[in-house]
Amino acid sequence: MKRMMIMCFVLCVAMVASTQAAVITFSGPVDAMNTSVLDVEVNLHYTFVEGVTYGSGAKSFTTAGGNLIALAGNNASLGNVDMPAGTPSGSSGWYNAGSQWNGSCLAGNTDVLAWTDALKGNLWHNNASDATRPLTLHLAGLTIGQAYSVQLYSADARFTDRTQTYASSFSGGTFSGTSGSFSQNPAYKVTGTFIADAIYQDIFIQATDTVGNADTTLAVYTLYAVPEPATMILLGLGSLTMLRKRK
């Protein structure tokens, strides 16, 4: 009996360790053509963890609400490779995409030049089989049990009907826990909230249009830790969801 209990414990630990992603609750999209969209999390007194912009280099500027935003530049590119297995190691950021800066990705200008420039840079993935090779954002260095809020900014005005969706999990060609399809023209912010169940979190992107190579893109992401008591509220909502499923 004792041996069976030990085996069950080991199996449970293995199952938890193999979990690649928590369930993400997405909201939005919200128009991102004004820097006031960056003030939301700051005004909620969330704790800034990291912010990254791709293709345009590091940016530091003051928002419409008077808040200083600092985004690290990251131009690393692994190109259009197959989605690698999620691993807890490595720094936060993309790991299977190409990077570029393209002025035509944004229609018009925002209220701050640096933000305009940031939205014109992006990481992209244009494999013909996006459904089985999704672009993947890898967030690392998380604290298990901590609630996080991630803001995903994308812009692609090259085609009027360019659309995509974010997902919290991907397996066997199937995406689940999605944000729903949204336009990338002119520029939009989608927010995802989750409670970390591992020291890393993967977010998957799938093209939902039929234009050209059906590119998926992302220009900027920011990550905040959600302080108490908001974390307890999220935990409570998660528990209610589990109870409802059991009933």
| Per-residue confidence (pLDDT) for residue 1, from 0 to 100 | 43
Strands 121-125 vs 135-140: parallel, antiparallel or unpaired: unpaired
| Per-residue confidence (pLDDT) for residue 77, from 0 to 100 | 56
Strands 121-125 vs 25-31: parallel, antiparallel or unpaired: unpaired
| Per-residue confidence (pLDDT) for residue 29, from 0 to 100 | 96
Please give, one letter per residue, the 3-state secondary structure of the chain. Answer: CHHHHHHHHHHHHHHHHHCCCCCCEEEEEEECCCHHHHHHHHHCCCEEEEEEECCCCCEEEECCCCCEEEEEECCCCCCCCCCCCCCCCCCCEECCCEEEECHHHCCCCCCCHHHHHHHHEEEEECCCCCCCCCEEEEEECCCCCCEEEEEEEECCCCCCCCEEEEEEEEECCEEEEECCCEECCCCEEEEEEEECCCCEEEEEEEECCCCCCCCEEECEEEEEECCCCHHHHHHHHHHHHHHHHHC
Is the pLDDT at 232 greater than 60, yes or no?
no
Residue ranges and CATH numbers for the domains of the chain are 19-246 (2.60.120.430)
C-alpha of 179 from chain center: 11
Question: What six digits make up the tokens of 85?
Answer: 């297995």
Residue environment code for 90-119, b if the CB has 16+ CB neighbours within 10 A, otherwise e = eebbbbbbbbbbbeebbeeebebebbbbbb
Which tens digits make up the pLDDT trace of 155-205? Answer: 988 877 788 899 998 887 788 899 999 988 999 999 999 999 999 999 988
Confidence of residue 3 (pLDDT cuts 50, 70, 90): very low
pTM over 0.85: no
Residues above pLDDT 90, as percent of the chain: 43
